[in-house]
Structure 1
Amino acid sequence: MGGTVPDQGAGGGAMTFVQLIECRTSRLDEMNRLIDDWVEQTKGKRTATHALVGTDHSDASHVVELVEFPSYEEAMRNSNLPETDRIFREMVALCDEMPTFIDLDVVREAHLDVVREAGTTARTVRRFFGVLASAGELPPLNDLLDEDVHSHDPVNPQDTIGLDHVRAEFRMWRGAFDFAFTVEDVVADDERACARWTWNATHTGDFLGIAPTGRQVAMTGMTLFRFAADGKITELWWQHDQLGLMQQLGALDELEQ
């Protein structure tokens, strides 16, 4: 879940950021329950994209947690959540000594096997949604998306083809809304994955000719992903409640009268 991230000034920009937390505890079951509570309480707000907890094979009281974020800035946002601060203090109380933190900017990530496990594709999907909703400038996405990626969205009359065009479409949504995804479910194998998600947003910019309304809106949807041999996303199929979104923005008011 990540605790309080020490201040590092400018941080690592849009670089993937990983926090390693070490502690000693004989109350791992209680700690796991705390983490479950945090996951439930931060739906739609947390910026962590992947978390892993392990115990030392030769010393079960030595616990290590790895938490991945799209960037250092997103880790700071996660740290500032009141739920994170509260549960972190409760976690410290379960430890035999104060946890230690190591903050890592990821400078290399390689898929070593052509054949991938389902867990790898599922993690990539969750990371994709986290990066898509990250604050600041949209990252290049070339570590997640194939250069020749195809995006199929029924809202668009034609498919969006190529990394630059797909990024432009994502920037359009980011320019119109301040949003976050909650990934409800991911079903994956080594080549494909399907995610069911909830999207919560504030309408802050022009969207399809609709001036900013400041309204809080929500949308549910599903996205099917196909992966290339190198583990990058090479095709996406989107299904979402566009009609419901337009209704929430008031675009259908005149038609309903």
Structure 2
Amino acid sequence: MTFVQLIDCRTSRFDEMNRLMDMWVEQTKGKRTATHALVGKDRSDASHFVEIVEFPSYEEAMRNSNLPETDEIFQGMVALCDEMPTFTDLEVVRDEQLNCATAREWFEQAGTIEIDRMFDRVTEDYVEHDPSAEETGLRAAREEFAGWRQAFDFSFRVDDQIAQEDRVCTRWTWTARHKGDYLGIPATGENVTMTGMTWQRFRDGMICEGWWQYDRVGLMEQLGVLGE
């Protein structure tokens, strides 16, 4: 289970503390077990800082704490603080990345939901980056999606997801049956698969931009258009 440690401290020497943290990051390469660190400053008290450090588990956090580099940096941190920092150990009991959840639902429903409802989660100024599409706006994205639905009965399997700031990357596997015309290729009835990745940018919980990469050549091979 993911484990989080909150370090609450007060200091008027944050720049020095920041350099100390940079030193720890450099010295613990290949050793540290921390996966994410975030520092926040209190808007109402410029000397009050909270650092949030994430680990895969409590056991990994203890391994990290036992590194000699960690102890050395901790002693330096105490010296820079106005008072002794406090530590709060938290087992994560709920971790919900809302944009990831929206992206996952978008893909999982893509083959069955009504097209209008599919684009309820997309902004009016949506921009699409698809190597096979000439236009980039919402209307073009709707038409492109409708074309795929007319040509194939399909579903997406979400294989992996990562999130960074306002963007979510989804790695997916697409499984389909070719039931209608696709780029001038009449229905073959073939069962086909394709892998790809999509980056989606979010604004106010809505998808406002998308970048698509997928194995179109492999799909054409399965449809018998290109030689194996």
Provide TM-score, normalisation by structure 2: 0.55
Distance change (3 Å), C-alpha of 1:165 and 1:150: same
1:140 and 2:117 matched: yes
Structure 2 Cα separation of the partners of residues 209 and 193 of structure 1:
33
User: Hey, what does 1:160 align to over in structure 2?
Assistant: 136
Aligned partner (choices 188, 194, 200) of residue 219 of structure 1: 194
Structure 2 Cα separation of the partners of residues 199 and 125 of structure 1:
15
User: What is the identity percentage for the equivalent residue pairs of Structure 1 and Structure 2?
Assistant: 47
Give the AA of the match of 2:226.
L
Give the AA of the match of 2:159.
E
Residues 150, 159 of structure 1: 8 Å contact kept = no
User: Hey, what does 2:109 align to over in structure 1?
Assistant: 131
Report the more deviating stretch, 172-181 or 188-197.
Answer: 188-197
Give the AA of the match of 1:122.
C
Between structure 1 and structure 2, the one with the greater Rg is: 2
Aligned pair count reads 134
1:251 and 2:218 matched: no
Matches within 5 A, 1:1-257: 119-134=97-112, 137-156=114-133, 158-162=134-138, 164-228=139-203, 230-253=204-227
1:2-52 Cα offsets, whole Å, 9 max, x none, are xxxxxxxxxxxxxxxxxxxxxxxxxxxxxxxxxxxxxxxxxxxxxxxxxxx
Structure 2 Cα separation of the partners of residues 208 and 175 of structure 1:
11
Secondary structure of 2:169's counterpart equals: strand
Distance change (3 Å), C-alpha of 1:217 and 1:142: closer
Structure 2 Cα separation of the partners of residues 129 and 182 of structure 1:
8
Residues 173, 194 of structure 2: 8 Å contact kept = yes
Give the AA of the match of 1:152.
H
Secondary structure of 1:124's counterpart equals: helix
Deviation at 1:197, TM superposition (A): 0.3
Gaps of 5+ in 2: 1-94
Secondary structure of 1:133's counterpart equals: coil
Distance change (3 Å), C-alpha of 1:176 and 1:232: same
Deviation at 1:133, TM superposition (A): 1.2
Deviation at 1:189, TM superposition (A): 3.1
Deviation at 1:213, TM superposition (A): 0.1
Secondary structure of 1:200's counterpart equals: strand
Structure 2 Cα separation of the partners of residues 200 and 222 of structure 1:
14
> CA RMSD, aligned part only?
1.7
Deviation at 1:118, TM superposition (A): 6.8
Structure 1 Cα separation of the partners of residues 115 and 202 of structure 2:
21
Secondary structure of 2:210's counterpart equals: strand
Give the AA of the match of 1:182.
R
Structure 1 Cα separation of the partners of residues 190 and 205 of structure 2:
37
Distance change (3 Å), C-alpha of 1:142 and 1:205: closer
Give the AA of the match of 2:105.
R
